[in-house]
A and B are shown apart, each in its own frame.
Chain A
Amino acid sequence: MGSMSGFWTIFWAKLSEFLPNLLVGFEVTLIVAAGSFVIAMSLGLLLAIARQSQNRWASVPAGIYIEFIRGTPALTQLFIIYFGLAQLGFSLPGLVAAIAGLGLNGAAYVAEIFRAGLQAVPDGQRQAAISLGLTPYQTFRHIRIPQAVKLMMPAFCNYAIQLLKDTSLASVVAAPEVMFRARALVMETYLSMQIYVLVGLMYLSISIPLSILAGRLQRRTVKMAGAAA
């Protein structure tokens, strides 16, 4: 009991020291999340298009990629990019490896979200657009994508939450994100409980709003689908 309260005394005394340090780390966390999100979204869209293509040279490799990513742990993929590439003479900084790794990983999941969303748009609308003289690209851009994106929004929010948490993997390749800094602080101070709880709260400050947003979008989507039926 005595030592616990002692820890808290030290914690409060040092909070002003920890907090800026951890916040700098959390900024890096957000950069990793944002960077990999952008990669995952763009590559994921391309993968989804390739996957549904009539051309086997596009659809088969895309399928293999998606299966490989979804069938192996993100940590393994990250190690391949960081340690594996280094062995071949391409050493990437931890931060770059983390963004690339999580982006390449997320692309497979995003591709599946896009595929499901595009499939949910009734094919009759594609046919109507084509019959009016829209090109396949215009149909994709003006009819299918806008509706698919609306349907996909809740899934993208959930993916963003998952990604935010997965950025902690970056700590094992020495990207100076919040978990990496927290571990260093704990080694210095032995205040594991206090520091990790504080870090947990930082993650929650982003994930809870995202989760509420996902819930709202979900209800809206259900309403949309109900009205269409």
Chain B
Amino acid sequence: MPILSVRGLQKSFGNFNVVRDVSFEVERGQKVAIIGPSGSGKTTVLRCINFLERPNGGVIEIDGERFGVRMTGGSERFESDASLAKKRADIGFVFQRFNLFSHLTALDNVALAPRLVRKMPREQALEIGRRMLARVGLSGKENNYPDALSGGQQQRVAIARVLAMQPKLILFDEPTSALDPELVGEVLAVMRDLANEGMTMLVVTHEIRFAAEVADRIIFMDGGQIVADGPPRQVLYDQPTDRMKQFLRSLSSDNAPTAGAPS
């Protein structure tokens, strides 16, 4: 059974259809990259998966469990906030702009959700927090506030914060595109480690080389639809559409995939 199943997802803002009939699955341990031009609906798909945005149609299933809708007496109802919250706790979300809690230290950023959501005793939550910060290479930064960390460090804290919840699946929304170029590598390295450890990941990214190397599959989105979904080699090189070629050309050259990258 796939860990994530998206079927017929639709989302519109006003009468603008941002996501139209998107369907795909992610198996346990799979790494899937979503690429596509700006405005194609990638972020919106990600936000619909954990109901940060309410879809207008379609089905989201996590581990076979329907998300966001409850069946009561044969009719569909919106799930309650509390019940939604419980399911979101199992899905990590890493934002483009980190979104660390600016009034909390790095350690408290990581330990907060285990304490409040998993009801862990304070000491145990802090212990997990320290372990997760170490895992993203930030031992020694426990007591720094976000504004005393570089962008790359902030994003790594954000990843540690997600890991502390032991998620079944992590959604990344362009995790490196708000970073100075010299800080991109440290975040990608952490993500590579996670991939090697078997984490299930769905990554929206413009880092085509990273996607080609790490992802099992690449999904190419355009105009709110999936236009290609397959192994990186196939999507990027074997049968690229004109739109795909145009998109790849639009990316800066230093980021373009190297010919014959491993899939």
A residues sitting closer than 8 Å to B (CB atoms) are: 122, 124-125, 127-136, 138, 142-143, 146-147, 150, 227-228
Contacts and interface: CB of A to CB of B under 8 A. Distances in A.
Given A135-B85, A228-B147, A128 B103 contact: no
B202 to A, nearest CB: 13
Interface of B: 50, 52, 81-82, 85-93, 95, 97, 99-103, 112-113, 116-117, 147, 158, 161-162, 165
Contacts of A125: 99-102
Given A125-B99, A132-B89, A142-B112, 19 more contacts: A125-B101, A128-B95, A128-B99, A128-B101, A128-B158, A130-B52, A130-B85, A131-B50, A132-B88, A132-B93, A132-B112, A132-B165, A133-B86, A133-B90, A134-B116, A136-B81, A142-B116, A143-B101, A147-B101
B253 to A, nearest CB: 31
A167 to B, nearest CB: 33
A127 B99 contact: yes
Contacts of A146: 103
A1 to B, nearest CB: 61
A133 B117 contact: yes
9 contacts: A124-B95, A125-B101, A125-B102, A128-B95, A128-B100, A132-B162, A133-B117, A135-B82, A142-B112
A98 B198 CA distance: 67
Given A131-B93, A132-B165, A122 B99 contact: yes
Q: Which of A131, A134, A142, A150 has the most CB of B within 10 A?
A: A131
A129 B218 CA distance: 29
A39 to B, nearest CB: 28
Report the 7 A-B pairs with minimum CB-CB distance, sorted nearest first: A133-B89, A128-B99, A124-B99, A131-B93, A132-B113, A133-B117, A227-B147
Nearest to B96: A124
Contact of A133 (B88, B99, B102): B88
Contacts of A124: 95, 97, 99
Query: Chain B interface mostly helix, strand, loop or mixed?
Result: mixed
A142 to B, nearest CB: 7
B89 A147 contact: no
A143 B103 CA distance: 8
Contacts of B100: 125, 128
Contacts of B86: 133
Contacts of B161: 128, 132
Contacts of A133: 85-90, 113, 117, 165
Given A128-B95, A131-B91, A228 B85 contact: no
A30 B99 CA distance: 42
A142 B104 CA distance: 10
Nearest to B118: A133
A132 B82 CA distance: 12
A125 B98 CA distance: 9
A125 B104 CA distance: 12
Contact of B88 (A131, A147, A228): A131
Contact of A135 (B81, B87, B103, B147): B81
A14 B113 CA distance: 65
Given A127-B95, A132-B162, A138 B116 contact: yes
A84 to B, nearest CB: 42
A122 B99 CA distance: 8
Contacts of A128: 93, 95, 99-101, 158, 161
Contacts of B93: 128, 131-132
A124 B102 CA distance: 11
Nearest to B146: A228
A199 to B, nearest CB: 41
A153 to B, nearest CB: 13
Contacts of B87: 133
Q: Which of B82, B101, B165 has the most CB of A within 10 A?
A: B101
A227 B149 CA distance: 11
A133 B162 CA distance: 10
Contacts of B81: 135-136
Contacts of B147: 227-228
B113 A134 contact: yes
B117 A132 contact: yes
B111 to A, nearest CB: 11
Contacts of A228: 102, 147
Given A227-B147, A228-B102, A127 B52 contact: yes
Contacts of A142: 112, 116
B88 A130 contact: yes
